[in-house]
Amino acid sequence: MDKITLDILENALRNAREEMDSVLFRSAMSPVIREQHDGFPMICHPDGRMVVGQFGSYINGFLANWKRGVNEGDVFLVSDPYSCGGAISHINDWMVLMPIFYDGELVGWGSQFGHTVDMGGPVSGSLPTDADTIFGEGTRIPPVKLFDGGKLNDDLLDMILANSRVPTMNYFDLMAIVAACRTADKRVREMCERFGKDEYIKGLEMLLDRTHEAMKQLIVMCLPETPLEFEDYIDDDGRGNGPYKMKLTIYRKGHEAYFDWTGTDPQAPGPINFYLNEEMFKMFIGVYLIMVFDPQILFNDGFYPLLHVTIPEKSLLNPEFPAALGCRTHALTRLFDVLGGALGKGAPELSTAAGYGTSPYMLYNGHDENGEFFHLMEITYGGIPGRPMGDGMDAHSWWPLFENIPTEYLESYYPITVLEYGSLMDTGGAGFHRGGNAVHKVYRYEADGEIAIHDDRERSKPWGIMGGLPGAMSTKELIRTDGTRENLASKISRIPVKKGDILVYRTAGGGGWKDPFDRPAELVRKDVRNGLVSAAKARSDYGVVLNPDLSIDQGATESLRADLRAKRGEFPLFSIGDVPEPIGVVKDWNGDGWSQAQSA
């Protein structure tokens, strides 16, 4: 196939993938999918390899466990991580897979998954922070045929929806996910008609090969031959145990890369375990390398054979059934900090600092003034790390394509008022490229109900690199109507709130990149003027002295910077801060339960 035709096919596939998202976001009902875009599409080669998409291949894992045939018109559904090899990582993610046929032959797959609001279980939202097994989180759906030869399985659908507190919302979300897959089906068949079936499949293979060749060059450029290791910590597991270490060793041999998680702590009693599918981790590596170094590379599964991954069994990243998984986003996001730290040991100029390190959630449920049940889940963000290309973004999502829920939407559909929302001054770590500031959000609850918090970096700072300083830690404070103030843990469920109670929700900032004393003083002045950095922090962390009118005192700045450099002396490669003090207990999973606790 000539390069022009291949580029046309590539762009047609990219457009189809974006159209899948558009169909989903315009058709879903829950704000976490409709507004925040917590849903991920892909279009695959007939053998299951993702050619365009975002979350990597899992069709092969599905096919390895599915023994009841694949026919035209079938639509498959699964939400149980343990029955699909961790292709999805907690039960709130509903994954739909659709085989695509042309002239009776399988020519590909369309797939989309989205985070559904509630899957039953003991707490609204199905994300209890104190669960000790997956049985305590909600309803698991093993791989099933939602549509069999084009016919909807109404009995199955009724059973699934009967286990949710918000069945109507889940119904529309599910059908929106299916509609997105049908969009992929339609567009792929059009491409087969346009290019010819055989040429279409040949084009898919060429796109996979092209990414394979590009990644070979990135691996040689970015990864060392000498093994490098790095470790970081999740504060706690939601059940009073922690911290939990994540350790990664990386190296390469020729054009192939090796990633070894040996040394990571054993699985946790609480729900912070992350069942890390090997293919998914390869996808994360690809996302990191491609987005940091060459975003023009088509992200697909073509590079997977170049990567080799070791994940110890019964560890935090490869837990044994029935470990709880609902709060797995802390390990999921911290993974990028660990990956960046390991890469930074070999090529710090090309690496990033640490970010806010999780996906902070705020959940709120109850009955409104009309007696109607409501459940809100909102994903908040934090400080993006300082990077080689520039400052970390303030109050921004770590995940590509995610957005916030507009305040107007929240206040229109839920009994809640957003009193303040913005980035929090001084929470980003100082650096030549500063870390992004954290999210500061203040909610007032307008109905009695319950809330839950999912966050981390409450006891560990997002580290800086090459002299950059750490970002600030997260905090949550509940202010009762009588003026009583209560600091909330970063992982907590079932907190009763009354009408008029206020929650002050602050996430973590991002770490700084490189020496802050080298940051141009004019940029520091601009940050102060824009309310991102205080004049006091400009002086203490950047050595920049500002006059009352915010002009720069050049002489005082040069003198102060020289003095601060002399007092600081040599700085470590990473400015990590203190490792969280051990709390709770250390336990080992023996297959049947937790062994006798040993004091941490």
- What percentage of residues in the chain have a pLDDT greater than 90? 80
Whether the Cβ atoms of residue 479 and residue 256 lie closer than 8 Å to each other: no
What residues have CB less than 8 Å from 442, skipping those under 6 apart? 418, 419, 420, 421, 502, 503, 504, 505
User: Given this model, what pLDDT does residue 597 score?
Assistant: 43
pLDDT confidence of residue 600: 35
The residue-averaged pLDDT of 267-291 equals 87
Kindly state the helix (H) or strand (E) to which residue 445 belongs, with its residue range. strand 438-445
pLDDT at 587 over 60: no
Residue pair 384/392 in contact by the 8 Å Cβ criterion: yes
The pLDDT value recorded for residue 462 is 96
Question: What pLDDT, in 10s, does the model give residues 525-549?
Answer: 999 999 999 999 999 999 999 999 9
How much is the pLDDT for 596?
Answer: 46
pLDDT for 293 beyond 80: no
Report residue 361 as tokens. Answer: 């959630």
Q: Which of 7-21, 279-293, 322-336 has the lowest mean pLDDT?
A: 279-293
What letter represents residue 349's amino acid?
E
The pLDDT score that the predictor gives to residue 598 is 39
In this structure, are residues 542 and 524 in contact, taking their beta carbons and an 8 Å threshold? yes
For residue range 330-342, what is the model confidence (pLDDT) as tens digits?
999 999 899 989 9
Helix 197-222 and helix 278-293, axial crossing angle in degrees, nearest 10:
70
**pLDDT-based confidence at 306, cuts 50/70/90?**
very high
Residue among 282, 209, 307 at smallest CA distance from 56: 282
CB 463 within 8 A of CB 454: no
| Domain locations in the chain as residue ranges | 3-213, 352-517+558-585
Task: Round to whole Å and give the CA distance between 500 and 482.
Answer: 10
Nearest to 20 by CA among 186, 237, 160, 164: 186
pLDDT at residue 281 in the model? 86
Q: What string of DSSP letters covers 31-87?
A: HHHHTT--EEEEEE-TTS-EEEESS---HHHHHHH--S---TT-EEEE--GGGTTTS
Phi/psi of residue 420, nearest 5 degrees: -145, 145
Per-residue burial over 470-499, b = 16 or more CB atoms within 10 Å of its CB, e = otherwise: bbbbbbbebbeeeeeeeebebbbbebebee
What amino acid occupies position 332? L
pLDDT at position 22 over 60: yes
Q: What is the mean pLDDT of residues 305-309?
A: 94
- pLDDT at residue 599, rounded to an integer: 35
- What pLDDT shows up at residue 61? 73
Q: How far apart are CA 356 and CA 386, in angstroms?
A: 11
Q: Is the pLDDT of residue 168 over 50?
A: yes
Whole-angstrom distance, CA of residue 408 vs CA of residue 417: 9
Whether the per-residue pLDDT at 56 is higher than 70: the answer is no
Amino acid of residue 219: I
Measured CA distances, 392 to 329, 354, 431 (Å): 21, 10, 10
- Name the band, by pLDDT with cuts 50, 70 and 90, for residue 575: very high
Cα end-to-end distance, the chain, whole Å: 61
Give the per-residue pLDDT at 62.
78
What the block records as the tokens of 491 is 């992982």
User: Could you give the CA distance from residue 516 to residue 366 in angstroms, rounded to a whole number?
Assistant: 47
User: What pLDDT sits at residue 125?
Assistant: 95
- Per residue in 107-117, pLDDT (tens digit) is 999 999 899 99
Query: What tens digit of pLDDT does each residue of 394-412 get?
Result: 999 987 778 999 999 999 9
Q: Give the pLDDT score at 57.
A: 63
The backbone region for 483, taken as left when phi is positive above 0, alpha when psi lies in -120 to 50, beta otherwise, is left
